[in-house]
Each structure stands twice: as structure tokens, then as C-alpha cells.
Amino acid sequence: MDHLDRYERADVRAGSVMNLIIGIWLILSPFILGFSSISSAVENNIIVGALVAIFAISGLVGTRIAWSRIINVVFGIWLFFSPFALGFDTSARAMWNNVILGIIVIVLASWSASLASSYHRPQIR
């Protein structure tokens, strides 16, 4: 591994590390932000948070696995729309938590997948 490979992997991994933190936050957020009485929001955040964390870890373990990052893009899209689809958009804390985190997950996972695929394309010399 040369010097450049180490930095490329660090760039690619940064998005996955941040999504891992977001996954953990999603699991804890209903209890910290006070919307634990909304069962659909709690169940959604625990399940999606765990999945985001699992696929972020998958992205950390194998930098060449772009599909794990693409799956997190899908989870980010779901997070964005979940308050409206599951009917907890009446709780401002739950709604904004998921909408904002959905956008962040989409951006981070897209960025990380883009970096991973650009670093592992065959180079024309």
C-alpha cells in the first residue's frame, strides 16, 4: 500500500464513519429527543438506524464494496420520507430529525460511493 492509497481509503471511509455515528444516533434519538411515545417513529429509527450502521460498517470493512454505500443512499431516502409515510410528521422533533438525517445520509453515502468507485477504476496510462 502506498501513501496515496492510505489517503484514498481515509476519504472513502470518512462517509462511512459518519453514517455509522448517524445510525447509532437514529437508534438513540427517540429517547433523547423525547418522541419515544410514537411507536412508528421508534420502530423506524431503531430498524433504519441499525441498518445504516451495519451497512456503514460494511463500507468500512471493504472499501471496494460500493453497493453497501448505495444501500445507505436508499435508507437515507426512506429516512427523509418516513415521517410522512408513517404518520409521525406531526411531531416536529421526530420529523426534522429524520428529514435532516436522511439528507445527510444520502449526501455522505453518495459521496463515499463516488469516491470509492473513482479510486478503483482502471487507470489509463
Domain ranges of the chain: 3-119
Question: What are residue 122's phi and psi, to 5 degrees?
Answer: -60, 135
Which cell numbers in the block locate residue 29?
434519538
Query: Is 36's pLDDT higher than 60?
Result: yes
Percentage of the chain lying above the pLDDT 90 cut: 52
Average pLDDT, the chain: 83
Residue type, 71: I
CA 40, CA 48: separation in Å to the nearest integer?
Answer: 12
Give the mean model confidence (pLDDT) for residues 61-65. Answer: 60
Candidate ranges 10-14, 42-46, 66-70; pick with highest mean pLDDT: 42-46
Query: DSSP secondary structure string, 49-77?
Result: HHHHHHHHHHHHH-TT-HHHHHHHHHHHH
Full-model pTM = 0.80
Tell the residue number behind the cell numbers 411515545, with chain if given.
Answer: 37
